[in-house]
Amino acid sequence: MSHRRHGAVAAAGDDGTVTAVAHGVLRSGAGAIIGIIPLGTGNGMARVLGLPLEPAETLAALATGRLVDVDVAEVVSHDTISLLFFGAGLDAEINRDADADEKARLGALAYLKATLANLRKSKNHDVTMSLDDRRTGLRAHTVTVLNATRFDLLGMRVGPDARPHDGQLKVTVMRSPGLLASLGQLLRLVNKRASRAELETATLIRIEATPPLPVQVDGDVVGETPLEARILPAALKFISAADYHADER
């Protein structure tokens, strides 16, 4: 529900809903504050901001939370935005194949099943990648761009090392189509320290591929390459948990 200019908006749903609400707020120019009520499977942005995942607890946390500025990735090629991550290749294929029925039945296991299935059949494409003024041609099957990530495993926070307050996009490329090599890179990415060697930084990015690669934005498949995006630093205000620290690494 939205209020007057500089009021508040509640985004109740999973990450696709949160991103859609954020896109509307950004386009409106109203500067409304966004609070998240997580009702989905991933709830990635709620996790990033340290919010509890039970709706009743979330409401209490929002009432006592703090305001934080959040970077936004404007995906200009597909007329949308990203809060969490977007990319071309494997991540789009995973989100395409982890359908709603399987996510409702299996939860996070639906993504694991789709990941293993697509890793086995991944093939490299001819990719041209431009990061700011750096242009590179390569063979790869996936390019993933991160703005904000947080995963919890057995009560511990794991990587990759991307936070939505630094005015930068973090980019990783998967070049090896083999199952074991790709799994090894995924394991390095979820280790916050090890992930830093896997990531390049940029404020502008363009990806072209032959043949085209599917593109996803915050878990929704939105089309194919070419993919072009830029970072909008501190473009939106969200409510985080009271103990959230924007500069925590």
- Domain-wise residue ranges, the chain: 8-73+234-240, 75-91+122-231
The whole-number pLDDT of residue 4 equals 43
The Cα 88–Cα 182 span in angstroms is 15
Query: Strand, helix or coil at 102?
Result: helix
Sign of the CA dihedral with 96 first, then 149, 170, and 12 last? positive
Handedness of CA 56, 57, 62, 67 (dihedral sign): negative
pLDDT at 36: 97
Q: Cβ distance 233 to 167 under 8 Å?
A: yes
Same topology, domains 8-73+234-240 and 75-91+122-231? Answer is: no
Supply 52's token pair: 């509890």
pLDDT at 199: 84
What is the full per-residue pLDDT of the chain (249 aa) written as tens digits? 333 456 899 999 989 899 999 999 999 998 899 999 999 878 889 999 999 999 889 999 999 999 999 999 999 999 999 999 999 988 888 777 666 565 555 555 555 665 666 666 778 899 999 999 999 999 998 999 999 987 654 454 555 667 899 999 999 898 876 666 666 666 666 656 655 667 899 999 999 999 999 999 998 899 999 999 999 999 999 999 999 987 665
Cα distance between residue 35 and residue 24, in whole Å:
14
From 3.40.50.10330, 3.40.50.720, 3.40.50.970, 1.10.260.40, which CATH number describes the 8-73+234-240 domain? 3.40.50.10330
Q: Which two tokens stand for residue 33?
A: 């504050």
Contact between residue 143 and residue 87 where contact means Cβ atoms under 8 Å apart: yes
CB 79 within 8 A of CB 20: no
Q: So what's the pLDDT on residue 2?
A: 38
With contact defined as beta carbons under 8 Å apart, do 209 and 225 qualify?
A: yes
Select from 178, 165, 199, 211 the least CA-distant residue to 66: 165
Instruction: Kindly list the distances between the CA atom of residue 73 and the CA atoms of 30, 158, 183, in Å, as whole numbers in the listed order.
Output: 18, 22, 27
Helix spans in 156-225 (H): 179-189, 192-195
CA separation for the pair 66, 27 (Å, rounded)? 23
- The answer as to CATH 3.40.640.10 being correct for domain 75-91+122-231 is no
Q: Indicate the pairing of strand 227-240 with strand 66-75.
A: antiparallel
Structure confidence at residue 26 (pLDDT): 96
The confidence score (pLDDT) of residue 152 equals 55
Give the pLDDT confidence score for residue 166 in this predicted structure: 93
Q: What is the pTM of this model?
A: 0.83
**Cβ(36)–Cβ(63) below 8 Å:** no
How, if at all, do strands 33-38 and 8-13 pair?
parallel
Contacts of 141 (CB under 8 A, 6+ apart): 89, 90, 122, 123, 124, 125, 174, 175, 177, 213
- Spatial neighbors of 116 by CB under 8 A, at least 6 apart, are 179
By residue count, the chain amounts to 249
